[in-house]
Structure 1
Amino acid sequence: MQLPNDNRVIIAIGVGLAVLAAVVLALVFGGSREPAAPKAPETEGPGGLTVNVGDAPSLEPTRALRCFVDGQFIGMATLSDCARRNGLATDALDVGLDETGALAAAPTASFAPPPALPDATATAGSDVVDPYDTTLPEKPQPQPQARVERASGAPCLRFTGSDWRDLGQMSLNQCVQALYAGTCVRPGDAQYGRHGNLTLRLVPRRVEQSNDNTRFRILADQDRSCQFPSLNG
């Protein structure tokens, strides 16, 4: 067979073969590669911020929080500045997420002061006296006063916001569990209960107790799951 004498034809054929070879190689080596999966966008927690109440005291001292004074939001302030405006030490403030999902600081139980103590006679039955009854009542006989043991049981009451609800007789630990297990409150908020003559108060990260309904001290710490591991068992 006679080859063409025109060099341009030979060059064109060579270029065509080179392009064809490049396409074949690209299909062989590039076809086995799978496209990289697109990187999933990073998601943020509620409100773009997730802060555990238990971690709040270790926050940066220069970080601004929503500050509450006398139950009112006064603006953004650092923890130390918010404590100064409340006239308190920094450890007297509850720090955590408020109802807006933002980090906030407020004095303990500033939104929920202790309620009035339950009236012991409110739930007791009262006898109606007949004004025409001339019979003398029998002289009551002295009864031995029962000793209340916190371990064996005492009345446990829950404050519902308007009245006290009796949950029955139980130990102090059982009363705390019945009142507050699985329940957490926000900074400045509180829930109240009674066990015998003790007032119980749930505030962020802990349950407190008081003998006079005014001065409270820590009874048990609350974990991140709103439970009380120290009261189990």
Structure 2
Amino acid sequence: MQPSNDRRVIIAVGAGLAILAAVVLALVFSGGRQGPAEPPPAAQGGLTVDVADAPSLEPTRELRCFVEGQYVGMATLTDCARRNGLATEALDVGIDATGALAAAPTAAFAPVPALPPVELIEKPAAATPVTTPATPSAAPVQAGGTACLRYAGSEWRALSSNMSLNQCVQALYAGTCVRPGEAQYGRWGDLTLRLVPRRVEQSGDNTRFRTLAEQDRNCQFPGLN
């Protein structure tokens, strides 16, 4: 009877070891299939990218730098932001008209065009009014408004020789919106006009621009009548 008992013990031990091995394997495989404890970045609001790892935005890489619409040479993103008096995050980085990587405040990638020819700006001399005895003190009629020009296709084109500033802005840009990094230029008398995202700017020296009118989401100018 002894050999039979020994065989039962061996079988029982073997079965126990088999069960233990199955439990261990189950734990190993179930652990490998377990998902991450936290949701992926896309589930937390979108893809997260560390710009420090992007080769095109290396902090030491020099870009074409624009200040107030004028090309000032090559500079790092930080240096270009300092020259503009802005934080680095306030600069747009993209491709300028030459196809090179450039950094500048919004819409400064399109350089300010040269001034238009004088003949497009000067208004024709007003005719001398004819006075009659019935109107001995009649004053000369002054033409209101100024020449309004659009810059397109690398040239200035006259829209009108007699418009108010508000009328010129509406004629140039009402219903037109531009994307970040883009600009459209116009001219009213001695003022250079520039349409940038969400506003029109004006400059009296063709270099320094300040806001003239805000643009709404429908690309209109509710503040200009």
TM-score when scaled to structure 2? 0.49
Q: Which has the higher contact order (CA 8 A, sep 6+)?
A: 1
TM-score when scaled to structure 1? 0.47
